[in-house]
């Protein structure tokens, strides 16, 4: 096991990793920008190193500063968390070159699975169904020819994309040609790579992802699925597990497909294989080569500490459990608490937390890095916490969530807590009959 790990992130995920290190008896090193000098992850870590001014490009995305911080503190490994450099193959390679262990998959695996076109091809080799489309849409003419064979509506997507960026929908050929130009420009600006591919647009699909974990001995297991269809502009708002919208047969086939794909990729560490589901058909769309924001849902459902498992695997240990040892008990949900105003088109709401009272009780977990008097900076993602609940049944989980959300008092800023309470009252949500477009329709009054 490592003696010291540097956490190359901020906020609740940095604090989550620090706590996992402490439970493993591993010293932790926090990094921080000037905006995060008083942050909880800095307070709780064994050491902390300033890496630059508030803009992420000059701090949390500064590879040289992160590597130097690790060397300065004699850290042996780096945990990237999620976001920032977590899926950056060059950062993983830079850690290796500096004699550091990257707590995640190899640079090769990140590159292989991070490129959506390459991942589609690999899925085909692993006999995992993919959404009808093409691996390349390098020109508007080629895209139009392909789309003519697939049929409209169709999605133009960035091969190196993520977070909903570099994606456009076309209803006809004229719209497709415009979409290709806009998506390419956006992809080049956001990812430095303008490569595009096409996918048939599924009108009312569910978004379901499978958590996998692999070790360096070739063992791969799944930890069941998470339902992620409650989205706004392709950003997840709420997640739950198990998915209320798939049958046991689809669950078995989908989880087996996810494991096959991970084995085909030679994947080690934590990863998430994402699918779109319509009826009893499911299609691979991408793989996230990192720990997910919503990983606590799986932890509550299975009792497996995914972050500690990540660290153990990176240290060379085999998986601590076999597939038959992974339990599936009850129902779990996660509610992302964002500093945003849902009534003002989700306008960011940074500012001082003037009062904070977090919920508790059986089956309730809060992952957050804010506190009374904390000044939420305007430079980073607006998520300030996650409320996770577990109960034996989905109905009990919904009732527990409603109670916990009402207990959650966070004043001084606007948050998404009222939106979550509204969602819990919706008939479609309570019935588990929602899809990726449901929340947009609800907000638009459709």
Report whether 254 contacts 246 (CB < 8 A): yes
Between CA 365 and CA 299 the distance in angstroms is 11
State whether residue 28 is helix, strand or coil.
strand
The alpha carbons of the chain give a radius of gyration, in whole angstroms, of 21
Per DSSP, the residues of 368-428 read: E---TT-EE-SSS-SEEEEEEEEESSHHHHHHHHHHHHHH-EEESS--SHHHHHHHHH-HH
What residue has token string 């193959």?
89
Report whether 376 contacts 324 (CB < 8 A): no
297, HSE (Cβ side, Cα atoms, 13 Å): 28
Q: Which stretches of 248-350 are DSSP H helices?
A: 248-264, 295-302, 306-314
To which H or E segment does residue 356 belong?
strand 355-357
177 in active site: no
Beta strands in 125-243 (DSSP E): 133-134, 154-162, 165-170, 196-200, 206-214, 220-232, 235-241
Q: 402 is written with which tokens?
A: 């409603």
| Catalytic-labelled residue, pool 290, 312, 365, 400 | 290
Active-site amino acid positions: 290
């Amino acid at each position: 096991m490592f003696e010291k790990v540097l956490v190359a992130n901020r906020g609740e995920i940095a604090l989550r990793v620090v706590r996992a290190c402490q439970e493993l008896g591993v010293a932790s090193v926090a990094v921080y920008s000037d905006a995060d000098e008083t942050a909880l992850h800095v307070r709780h870590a064994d050491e902390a190193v300033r890496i630059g001014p508030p803009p992420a490009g000059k701090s949390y995305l500064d590879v040289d500063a992160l590597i130097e911080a690790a060397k300065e503190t004699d850290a042996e490994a780096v945990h990237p968390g999620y976001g920032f450099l977590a899926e950056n193959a060059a950062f993983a390679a830079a850690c290796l070159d500096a004699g550091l262990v990257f707590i995640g998959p190899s640079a090769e695996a990140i590159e292989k699975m991070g490129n959506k076109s390459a991942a589609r091809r690999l899925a085909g080799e692993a006999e995992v169904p993919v959404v009808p489309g093409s691996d390349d849409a390098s020109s508007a003419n080629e895209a139009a020819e392909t789309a003519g064979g697939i049929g409209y509506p169709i999605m133009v997507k960035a091969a190196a994309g993520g977070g909903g960026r570099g994606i456009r929908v076309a209803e006809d050929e004229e719209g497709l040609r415009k979409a290709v130009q806009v998506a390419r420009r956006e992809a080049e600006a956001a990812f430095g790579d303008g490569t595009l591919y096409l996918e048939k647009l599924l009108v009312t699909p569910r978004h379901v992802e499978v958590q996998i974990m692999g070790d360096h001995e070739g063992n791969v297991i799944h930890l069941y699925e998470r339902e992620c269809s409650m989205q706004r502009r392709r950003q997840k708002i709420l997640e739950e597990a198990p998915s209320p919208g798939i049958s046991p047969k689809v669950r078995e086939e989908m989880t087996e497909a996810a494991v096959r794909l991970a084995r085909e990729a030679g994947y080690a560490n934590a990863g998430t294989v994402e699918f779109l589901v319509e009826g009893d058909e499911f299609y691979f769309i991408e793989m996230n080569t990192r720990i997910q924001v919503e990983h606590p849902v799986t932890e509550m459902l299975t009792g497996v500490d995914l972050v500690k498992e990540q660290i153990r695997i990176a240290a060379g240990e085999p998986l601590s459990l076999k597939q038959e040892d992974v339990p599936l008990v009850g129902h779990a949900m996660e509610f992302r608490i964002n500093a945003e105003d849902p009534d003002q088109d989700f306008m960011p709401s940074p500012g001082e937390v003037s009062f904070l009272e977090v919920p508790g009780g059986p089956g309730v977990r809060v992952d957050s890095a804010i506190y009374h008097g904390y000044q939420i900076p305007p430079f980073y993602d607006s998520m300030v916490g996650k409320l996770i609940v577990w109960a034996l049944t989905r109905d009990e989980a919904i009732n527990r969530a409603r109670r916990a959300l009402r207990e959650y008092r966070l004043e001084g800023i606007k948050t998404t807590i009222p939106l979550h309470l509204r969602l819990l009252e919706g008939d479609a949500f309570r019935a588990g009959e929602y899809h990726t477009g449901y929340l947009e329709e609800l907000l638009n009054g459709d």
